[in-house]
A = this chain, B = another copy of it.
Amino acid sequence: MNHRLTRILLAAVIAGGTCLAQTDQPTGASRPLAEIKEDFKPSTLNQPGQQHPQVNSQGYARFRIVAPEAQSVRVSLGGRERGGFSLDKGEDGVWTGVTQKPLDEGFHYYHLAVDGGTFNDPGTLNFYGSTRWESGIEIPAHDQDFYALKDVPHGRVQQILFPSRSTNTSRRAFVYTPPDYDKDLTKRFPVLYLQHGWGEDETAWSNQGRANLIMDNLIAEGKTKPFIIVMIYGMTNEIRFGGLRNFDIGPFQTVLVDELIPYVDANFRTLSDQPHRAMAGLSMGGMETKSITLKNLDKFSHIGLFSGGSISLDDVNNTPDFKEKVELVFVSYGSRELDGGRRGFGGDPKTNADELKQVGINSVFYVSPDTAHEFQSWRRSLHEFAQLLFNEGISQT
């Protein structure tokens, strides 16, 4: 433990009242200083050449911001560090600080408050969340191998611009094609439509979610059938959670079902029948998935809701031909969401999943260990979900 870190920790105790009041861990004052290991390394999401922020082997994050004339610099993190904490100004005019406790494994959004203004950490890459490009930090995870960039054949993430008459624009979407897509030009592939959450956009599943690397690795291990993934902006960000009840799925459903799907089927080598089309989404994207798939079971056979509600027996009974048409209902949550009493919308998700199974529906419930309403839950959810998709023995010529 060097003197600088001691100073930081003491300062955090002095300045961090608001934060400490919101946590359930020992405060810095009562925490043995020696417990924080001095093995910090730059976060893997830093900009080229940037040494900060850093993360240690326990998941503590250290921030370093140069702003010599500033009056205050705070780090605003979601998840377990909610409320954020103040950095401490050193004699060199540099602001530094360490999180009050280890962060959960995986990806976290954050930003800075510098003298009352909201800015990003110049050390990190940016990721679209909370309806703004945010700073991102990556905490190494025990299971990070499944989304690591490895020396395996890689698929492509393609930006497409397709005509959307209903919104009078060329809309952007991203399409993941598996590694062998361009090897055998006679082969066609199933498609998963994969939605981001509120505050995010069509870049989230590749950037934060690493969907392409998850797929590349699963395919290399033979654990999933190769399929195409389509990611598009869910048009959800104009509303706030308070206005959710007034959210009209109609305009997005028109873009997705009437414009994007026909474009993808016309421009990619898809298997375009209902048994080979899935939809999934995280958080609000899960709600969109439920809403759109239940109204369009002639188009979708596999449904995934990641931290975004569940499907109840009532839903099944109120949806004609549900049992005949739906091949898979996958529902997942981060364990900390369930610990915190979060159940999404429409009843307890585990109870709902069990009831669906009891009436013969292929219903899978997955809990991501020790993660919250954050991307690590959703990376793991996609990893589980992908292995269950399009496994009905239908020929994929």
Q: List residues of chain A with CB under 8 Å of any chain B CB.
A: 47-49, 65-72, 93, 112, 114-120, 122, 125-126, 131-133, 149-151, 154, 156-163, 170, 175, 182, 185, 201, 206, 212, 216, 237, 267-268
Partner of A133, one of B125, B160, B175: B125
- Chain multiplicity (copies): 2
Known: A47-B132, A68-B115, A117-B66. A158 touches B157 (CB 8 A): yes
Report the nearest B residue to A175, measured CB to CB: B156
Given A125-B133, A133-B125 in contact, is the A67-B156 Cβ separation under 8 Å? no
User: What CA separation (Å) do A69 and B117 show in the bound complex?
Assistant: 8
Chain B residues near A68 (CB, 8 Å)?
Answer: 115-117
Q: List 18 A-B contacts (CB under 8 A).
A: A47-B133, A66-B116, A66-B117, A67-B116, A68-B116, A69-B72, A69-B116, A70-B70, A70-B117, A93-B116, A112-B119, A115-B115, A117-B122, A119-B119, A149-B161, A150-B170, A158-B159, A182-B268
A45 to chain B, nearest CB (A): 12
Contacts of A162 in B (CB 8 A): 154
Chain B residues with Cβ below 8 Å from A201 are 48
| Cβ contact of A65, chosen from B117, B156, B206, cutoff 8 A | B117
How far apart are A98's CB and chain B's nearest CB, in angstroms?
19
**Given A71-B69, A170-B151, A119-B120 contact (CB < 8 Å):** yes
A374 to B151, CA, bound (A): 37
User: Which residues of chain B are near A133, meaning CB under 8 Å?
Assistant: 47, 125-126
Does the CB pair A67–B117 fall under 8 Å?
yes
Q: How far is the CA of A119 from the CA of B116 in the complex (A)?
A: 14
Query: In whole angstroms, what is the CA distance A174 to B122 when docked?
Result: 25
**Complex Cα distance A117/B66, Å?**
5
Q: Which residue of B lies closest to A95 (CB)?
A: B117
Q: Report Cα–Cα, A338/B268, bound state, in Å.
A: 47
Bound form: Cα–Cα A114–B157 in Å: 36
Q: Which B residue sits closest to A70, measured CB to CB? A: B115
**Cβ–Cβ contact B131 & A70, under 8 A:** no
Q: For the complex formed, measure the closest distance between the CB of A152 and the CB atoms of chain B, giving whole angstroms.
A: 9
Give which listed residue, B93, B115, B118, contacts A69 with CB less than 8 A: B115
